[in-house]
Amino acid sequence: MDIHIQASLSSSSSSSSSSSSSSSSIESTVSEPHNTYAEDRESGNFGCLHYRRRCKIRAPCCDEVFDCRHCHNEAKVICSLCDTEQDVQQYCSNCGVCFGKYFCSICRFFDDDVSKSQYHCDECGICRTGGKENFFHCKTCGCCYSKLMKDGHRCIERAMHHSCPVCFEFLFDTTKDISVLPCGHTIHLECAKEMESHFQYSCPVCSKSICDMSRLWVKLDKVIASTPMPDIYKNKKVWILCNDCGAEGEVQFHVVAHKCLDCNSYNTKQTIGRRRTASCSSTTVPEIVS
């Protein structure tokens, strides 16, 4: 059963003066403007103008110490042909060689392979691949998505600003292809395929089905119909919560699976008991937050 992949995207990586892509990452979530104060910066306790922090980084590419990766990227560049050290720019000030056919002065990003159709998204704050004409920026999700999804994707606030639920790599600035699941959650495409190879067809975040499972539900109908339960269980009923539609209901117990009476899905789980209207939280089925 194939997973329906709605779109994929990737961010550009590496520049001639940086160790990785010049993109927003987890750092951006801790750099709110109201957390940066002039007196702190002047005192030297919080490093540079980019982030409020009490630490420095050592760049693996040059083994030099900087206040942050942006400070690293704003450093000088050295021409590979004439060894001239100079300010970050597209062409060498000495021999005139082009450092990269694609050059982003904001990200300090160079790449001579323009077949990737790189472009800079002002709202994302990073360079991405795939051609600007093929993507749109969703302000709710906080990321660029394929225009094929513009009228049909399900918005989840900051959907890309978290780690992949399978491999835990941060998704916003990953260079790997991304799959947007029908529920709106995001995951690496290769991780989604890995889940499929292990017969895992539910979202790791919200447990909703990640593809059309109707054919499997029909097969389960036949299996259950051909597998009657012993007399002792014929009148036994259980309360279930459907992961797909969110409905609760009391259904006939069966050892194979329990079918949602609202949407016919077997992607359900047995709950402790019927949802009560009383205030006692111990008898209430927890709400699934997607």
- Domain regions of the chain by residue span: 50-111, 120-159, 162-211, 225-270
pLDDT in tens, 202-258: 999 999 999 999 999 999 999 999 999 999 988 899 999 999 999 999 999 999 999
Domain 225-270 part of CATH 2.20.28.10? yes
Region of residue 83 (phi > 0: left; psi between -120 and 50: alpha; otherwise: beta):
left
Of 270, 264, 284, the closest CA to residue 240 belongs to 270
10 in Cβ contact with 178 (< 8 Å): yes
Which of 3.30.420.10, 3.30.40.10, 3.20.20.140, 3.40.50.10480 would CATH assign to domain 162-211?
A: 3.30.40.10
Strand partners, 120: 127
Angle, CA of 149, 153 and 159, to the nearest 5°: 110
Strand residue runs (E) in 19-166: 57-58, 65-66, 77-78, 85-86, 102-104, 109-111, 119-121, 126-128, 135-138, 143-146
pLDDT in tens, 56-90: 888 887 788 888 877 777 778 889 899 998 988 99
pLDDT at 179 over 60: yes
Q: Poorest-confidence range of 177-191, 206-220, 271-285?
A: 271-285
208 in Cβ contact with 64 (< 8 Å): no
How much is the pLDDT for 31? 39
How much is the pLDDT for 274? 55
